[in-house]
C-alpha cells in the first residue's frame, strides 16, 4: 500500500481553510498533519475535511494559540496527547494509523509543534528560548526511555529548527538567530538520535542542496530574496527507511493568496 503523508504549519486553520481544501483536492494525501491550528477542538472546521474524504480527525487545540491536528482517510486508533514542560500547551498529538489487515501492524504517528523560542537566543534573559530548549530535552528523554521508534513510527511537524547549513539561506548570518543556533541544532540532533530517526527529506535531497519550508512574511518578495529556512520535518523510524519512496516540498503554495509562511512537506512510503 502506498501511504502519502503531509505536514503543514497552517498558521490558523479557520483563516486558511480554503488553502487547506485546495491542497487536499490537488494533492490528496492519505494523512495531513497540521500545526498552529489556533482554535479549540469544537471550533475546528471538521465538516470541510469530512466532505473531502477525511473521515478520521484527531485534535489537540486551544484558544488562539498553538494546536495540532491529524486528518486522515485511514482509520485512526489509540489517540493520545502529551503535555510538555507541564504547561498544558497543545503541541503534540499521537495517533496510530490502523493496519490494512489484522495481520499488519499499525504505524504510530507523532505530530509536533515545537516552541519557536522568541527572538533572543539566551535562555537566561528569554523565557521563550529556555522553554524551547527544555521542550527539546524532554522530547529526547521521553523518546529514549519509551523506545518510540523501535517499531514503525513517524515523527512530523513544525520543529522550528533548521539543522543543517544548507537548511538556511545563510549559515554564518543565522548562527545567532533563533532556529539555527548551535545549541538548538545540538538538541534537535539529540532528539533525532534518541529514535534513532531518519530524516525523510534529506534521504532524497542531497545535503549539498539548499532546502527550505518557511519564508518570512517580512520579505517584500520572498521568491526573489529566497531567504528561507527548513523548519518543517518528516522523520521515520529505521525500520521504515527501506519503505520510503519519495519526499518533497510544495514550495509553490507560499505564493498562494494569503498564505501561511510555511509550506507543506510530503512523504510517500510503501507499507
Mean pLDDT of 247-253: 98
Inter-residue contact 237 to 153 (CB < 8 Å): yes
Number of domains in the chain: 1
- Average pLDDT of the chain to the nearest whole number: 96
Domain span holding position 249: 2-270
Residue 271 has pLDDT above 90, yes or no: no
Of the pLDDT bands very low, low, confident and very high (cuts 50, 70, 90), residue 185 is very high
Q: Lowest mean pLDDT of 23-27, 70-74, 148-152, 157-161, name the range.
A: 148-152
Rounded to 5°, angle at Cα 173 from 234 and 259: 50
The residue ranges of DSSP E strands in the chain, in sequence order, are: 2-9, 31-35, 56-60, 68-72, 76-80, 92-97, 107-113, 153-158, 197-199, 214-215, 228-229, 232-237, 244-249, 265-270
Q: What is the pLDDT of residue 196?
A: 95
Whether the CB-CB separation of 62 and 85 falls below 8 Å is answered with: no
Digit-coded pLDDT (tens) for 29-54: 999 999 999 999 999 999 999 999 99
CATH of the domain at 199: 3.60.10.10
Residue 103: its pLDDT value, please? 52
- Does residue 102 carry a pLDDT above 60? no
What is the tens place of the pLDDT at every residue in 107-161? 999 999 999 999 999 999 999 999 999 999 999 999 999 888 889 999 999 999 9
The pTM of the full predicted model, rounded to 2 decimals, is 0.97
Amino acid at each position: 500500500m502506498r501511504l502519502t503523508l503531509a505536514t503543514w504549519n497552517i498558521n490558523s486553520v479557520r483563516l486558511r481553510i480554503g488553502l487547506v481544501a485546495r491542497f487536499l483536492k490537488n494533492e490528496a494525501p492519505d494523512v495531513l498533519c497540521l500545526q498552529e491550528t489556533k482554535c479549540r477542538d469544537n471550533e475546528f472546521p471538521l465538516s470541510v475535511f469530512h466532505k473531502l474524504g477525511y473521515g478520521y480527525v484527531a485534535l489537540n487545540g486551544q484558544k488562539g494559540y498553538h494546536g495540532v491536528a491529524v486528518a486522515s482517510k485511514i482509520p485512526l486508533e489509540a489517540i493520545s496527547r502529551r503535555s510538555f514542560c507541564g504547561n498544558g500547551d497543545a503541541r503534540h498529538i499521537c495517533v496510530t494509523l490502523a493496519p490494512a489487515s489484522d495481520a499488519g501492524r499499525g504505524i504510530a504517528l507523532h505530530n509536533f509543534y515545537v516552541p519557536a523560542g522568541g527572538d533572543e537566543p539566551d535562555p537566561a534573559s528569554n523565557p521563550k528560548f529556555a522553554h524551547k530548549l527544555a521542550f527539546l530535552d524532554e522530547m529526547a528523554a521521553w523518546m529514549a526511555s519509551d523506545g518510540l521508534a523501535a517499531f514503525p513510527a513517524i515523527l512530523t511537524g513544525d520543529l522550528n529548527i533548521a539543522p543543517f547549513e544548507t537548511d538556511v539561506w545563510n549559515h554564518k548570518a543565522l548562527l545567532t538567530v533563533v532556529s539555527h543556533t548551535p545549541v538548538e541544532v545540538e538538541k534537535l540532533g539529540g532528539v533525532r538520535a534518541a529514535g534513532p530517526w531518519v530524516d525523510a527529506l534529506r534521504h532524497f535531497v542531497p545535503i549539498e542542496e539548499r532546502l527550505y519550508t518557511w519564508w518570512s512574511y517580512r520579505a517584500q518578495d520572498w521568491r526573489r530574496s529566497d531567504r528561507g529556512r527548513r523548519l518543517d520535518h518528516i522523520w521515520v523510524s529505521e525500520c521504515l527507511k527501506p519503505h520510503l519512496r519519495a519526499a518533497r516540498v510544495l514550495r509553490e503554495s507560499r505564493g498562494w493568496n494569503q498564505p501561511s509562511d510555511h509550506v507543506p512537506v510530503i512523504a510517500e512510503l510503501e507499507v
